[in-house]
Amino acid sequence: DEFISSPPRKTVRFGGTLTEILLKYEKGDTTDFELLKHQLSDPDIKDAQIINWLHEFRASVAYLTKELEQLVNILLKLPWLRRSREVVEEYLGFLGNLVSAQTVHLRPCLRMIVSQFVPPRITIREDDVDISDSDDDDENISENFDTCHRALKTVARYVPSTPQFLMPILVEFFPFINKSERTLECYVHNLLRVTVYLPTLRLQILELIIERLLKLDVSTPQQDIEDAEETANSCASEEKSTEEGLFDMEEDEDRKGNKVVSPNIERMAHPLAERLDILMTILFSYIRDVCHVDGKLDISNTKDLYRDLVSVFDKLILPTHASCHVQYFMFYICSFKLGLAEAFLDHLWKKLQDPNNPSVIRQTAGSYIGSFLARAKFIPIVTVKACLDLLVNWLHKYIDNQDKGANAYCDVALHGPFYSTCQATFYTLIFRHKQLLDGNLRKGLSYLQSLNFERIVMCQLNPLKICIPSVVNLFAAITRKYQLVFCYTIIERNNRQFIPVVRSGTGGDLVQTCTNPLDSFFPFDPYILKRSKKIIDPMYQFWEELSAEDLENLKKPIKKGTSEDEDDDFLKGETPQNDGVVEIAPNSYESNTRSPVSSIGSPADCYVPYPL
């Protein structure tokens, strides 16, 4: 009864049916055609009108040729996404019909869909300047994104070549880094969703995202982030001088448990660091979700994603200098399974020892090996020993080949990979020496003595002169303590002989510089982005303060012929708290010689008095 008594839907129409209008237009009569465009462009167009027009257009897609591109563009601008479910379903049907009958309109359809991957734009003007940006006050924003992906799936189902046309559009629409955090977050999230149903695009999409993250990363040095945080903290403490326990970890934990976390604690003070933090959190979440099915690691999915990420790492990360955070996507995925970590180390090792690779790539690979072995808690000591064996054997073979040659002298330009490998080896020993000696001091010392560090240190190539002073000083202190090699004579001689490196500049002029290519960065220096660091911290080894007792112990050599009981006494009270990794870390905030200047937690230039 209700249906019979209800009046028919009223829609205002001009000019007859759509087919009649289009046929008139072909004959040169454009009056009704202009009226049609006007009706479709009306901002107050009703749902019923949209549904009726779309129904007619679906039946007339054969007429929508290249010549009617202007009309199609008007249809693609219809506000369909935030309409009733009936409008959405009719529009999705229209899109499917349009691209299957007229592939010439594929690109405009894809552009329309991708443009909806960010929250709707709001217009804001200040002093006649347009500062508009995207906002997502719309409660249905998540549902709208779901609908966009349905639309993209529909188009891809009808046109198999969709991926090759889609990728340039995804690149074109990627928001600038000065857009709001929410805009970037939504777009990156939607790009990663595309990889789920268009897997052929995954590698390209990951490259695109990581390339943009790298640009954010290298344009936001750690020193700038630290300075911004320090300024923000000092301002906050001035404004809230009565607030106590801001850095009380227990209180912070209580707040987190009650889900009352201060926004100042969660947000990064530096605006670009805040964007990078949000996007890295999304990338980590994506890696976790792809690799885990129902909470369990899926080996097949993980291997496939690992291969894609290694490819991106080789193409973008290895050649990029001074990135601080983005490379942690490899650190994270390798934490899922030891086999992945070993595969990554093997990959880096092949890069390092291959003479066909550029020297700078080989040196960077060496830095990654050392930093990864030192910082990754999930790498067991047996793997560390296997890597040290490889690195040290390669160093000895390199010395064998160079000692008698004409190039057997200290030159970082000639022997860059050698020095990088030395530094990786020293750096690993600094972090892992207590684990190597843990349990059985005599057996551990025997292993370290078998590495023959003395030959490496004493060779003509003089690695102690090139390696970063902070690493050299700690290595010298540790090797002296265990009577592996006495480095201080060489260090003092190097200090007396230090002269600036002379390089050939443009035009053949000699240019003096004191820069050292190895004095760059440790790739896995501490991660300082507040949100995403929560994912990294549990698997990450931090430096610990160098206590007075540790400093004193470094001055005391271990006597040869130590008994088993004395071995145990030595180990008592010195077992490292964090999975047995070295505790002897000076406060890098007070170091003027850490490398780079912006790195937190890298080994600082530790002063251990030379023995008399």
Answer yes or no: is pLDDT of 63 > 80: yes
Which residue did the predictor score with more confidence, 600 or 558?
A: 558
Answer yes or no: is pLDDT of 478 > 80: yes
Report the amino acid identity of residue 239. Answer: E
Look up the pTM and report it.
Answer: 0.81
Answer yes or no: is pLDDT of 587 > 60: no
Task: Give yes or no for a contact between 387 and 428, defined as CB atoms under 8 angstroms apart.
Answer: yes
Token readout for 400 is 């064998």
404-460 pLDDT tens trace: 666 667 777 778 899 999 999 999 999 999 899 987 888 999 999 999 999 999 888
Token readout for 495 is 């200090």
What's the average model confidence in pLDDT over 580-598?
34
Burial state string for 337-361 with b = 16 or more CB within 10 A and e = fewer than 16 = beebbebbbebbbebbbeeebebbb
What's the average model confidence in pLDDT over 339-359?
95
Answer yes or no: is pLDDT of 352 > 60: yes
What pLDDT is attached to residue 1? 52
Answer yes or no: is pLDDT of 610 > 50: no
Q: What value does the CA radius of gyration of the chain take, rounded to a whole number of Å?
A: 32
What's the average model confidence in pLDDT over 553-564?
53
What pLDDT is attached to residue 572? 35
Answer yes or no: is pLDDT of 522 > 90: no
Domain ranges of the chain: 1-121+139-164, 363-503+515-522
Token readout for 368 is 């990654």
Residue 233's pLDDT band, with cuts at 50, 70 and 90, is confident
What pLDDT is attached to residue 384? 96
Percent of the chain having pLDDT more than 70?
73
Query: Angle 469-481/488-497 helices, nearest 10 degrees?
Result: 150
Burial state string for 48-72 with b = 16 or more CB within 10 A and e = fewer than 16 = ebbbbbbebbbebbebbeeebeebb
What φ, ψ does residue 121 adopt, rounded to 5°? Answer: -85, 135
What's the average model confidence in pLDDT over 498-521?
50
Residue 210: alpha-carbon gap to chain centroid? 6
What's the average model confidence in pLDDT over 215-241?
84
Range list of β-strands (E), 264-320: 292-293, 296-297
Dihedral, CA atoms, 62, 64, 67, 71, nearest 10 degrees?
170
DSSP lists the bridge partners of residue 59 as: none
Q: How far apart are the first and last CA of the chain?
A: 108
Token readout for 193 is 């969703």
Counting Cβ atoms within 10 Å, is residue 91 exposed (0-12), middle (13-18) or buried (19+)?
buried
Q: CA quadruple 593, 388, 337, 357: dihedral positive or negative?
A: positive
Answer yes or no: is pLDDT of 70 > 80: yes
Collapse the DSSP code of 180 into the 3-class scheme (helix H, G, I; strand E, B; otherwise coil) and give the result: coil
Alpha carbons within 13 A on the beta-carbon side of 126: 3
Please tell me the distance from the alpha carbon of residue 332 to that of residue 284, in angstroms, as a whole number: 7
Residue 36 CB contacts under 8 Å (≥ 6 apart), including other chains: 14, 15, 18, 21, 71
Task: Give yes or no for a contact between 588 and 576, defined as CB atoms under 8 angstroms apart.
Answer: no
Answer yes or no: is pLDDT of 126 > 70: no
Report the amino acid identity of residue 3. Answer: F
Collapse the DSSP code of 179 into the 3-class scheme (helix H, G, I; strand E, B; otherwise coil) and give the result: coil
Which residue did the predictor score with more confidence, 608 or 167?
A: 167
From 544, 502, 546, 543, select the one nearest 522 (Cα to Cα).
543
Token readout for 296 is 């369990």
Give the mean pLDDT of the chain.
81
> Long-range contacts: 32-35, Cβ < 8 Å, 24+?
33/71
Which residue did the predictor score with more confidence, 3 or 71?
A: 71
Please tell me the distance from the alpha carbon of residue 205 to that of residue 173, in angstroms, as a whole number: 13
Please tell me the distance from the alpha carbon of residue 79 to that of residue 41, in angstroms, as a whole number: 10
Answer yes or no: is pLDDT of 319 > 70: yes
What's the average model confidence in pLDDT over 21-41?
88
What's the average model confidence in pLDDT over 505-512?
47
Please tell me the distance from the alpha carbon of residue 417 to that of residue 363, in angstroms, as a whole number: 5
Please tell me the distance from the alpha carbon of residue 568 to that of residue 588, in angstroms, as a whole number: 31
Please tell me the distance from the alpha carbon of residue 315 to that of residue 294, in angstroms, as a whole number: 32
Residue 231: alpha-carbon gap to chain centroid? 26
Alpha carbons within 13 A on the beta-carbon side of 114: 23
Collapse the DSSP code of 410 into the 3-class scheme (helix H, G, I; strand E, B; otherwise coil) and give the result: coil
What φ, ψ does residue 126 adopt, rounded to 5°? Answer: -130, 120
What pLDDT is attached to residue 260? 42
What pLDDT is attached to residue 305? 97
Please tell me the distance from the alpha carbon of residue 378 to that of residue 539, in angstroms, as a whole number: 6
Cα–Cα distances in angstroms (integers) from residue 592 to residues 463, 469, 586, in the given order: 22, 11, 12
Answer yes or no: is pLDDT of 245 > 80: no
DSSP lists the bridge partners of residue 545 as: 585
What pLDDT is attached to residue 363? 92
Residue 207: alpha-carbon gap to chain centroid? 11
DSSP lists the bridge partners of residue 501 as: 513
Least confident interval from 367-381, 425-439, 583-597: 583-597
Least confident interval from 189-203, 263-277, 393-407, 488-502: 488-502
Least confident interval from 54-58, 75-79, 180-184, 511-515: 511-515
What pLDDT is attached to residue 562? 44
Residue 123's pLDDT band, with cuts at 50, 70 and 90, is low
Residue 364's pLDDT band, with cuts at 50, 70 and 90, is very high
Residue 130 CB contacts under 8 Å (≥ 6 apart), including other chains: 123, 124
Residue 239's pLDDT band, with cuts at 50, 70 and 90, is low
What pLDDT is attached to residue 325? 95
What pLDDT is attached to residue 462? 86
What pLDDT is attached to residue 101? 93
Please tell me the distance from the alpha carbon of residue 561 to that of residue 197, in angstroms, as a whole number: 66
SS3 content of the chain, % helix, strand, coil (to 5): 60, 5, 35
Count of CB atoms situated within 10 Å of the CB of 493: 13
Which residue did the predictor score with more confidence, 412 or 355?
A: 355
Number of helices (H) and strands (E) in the chain: give both, helices first. 29, 8
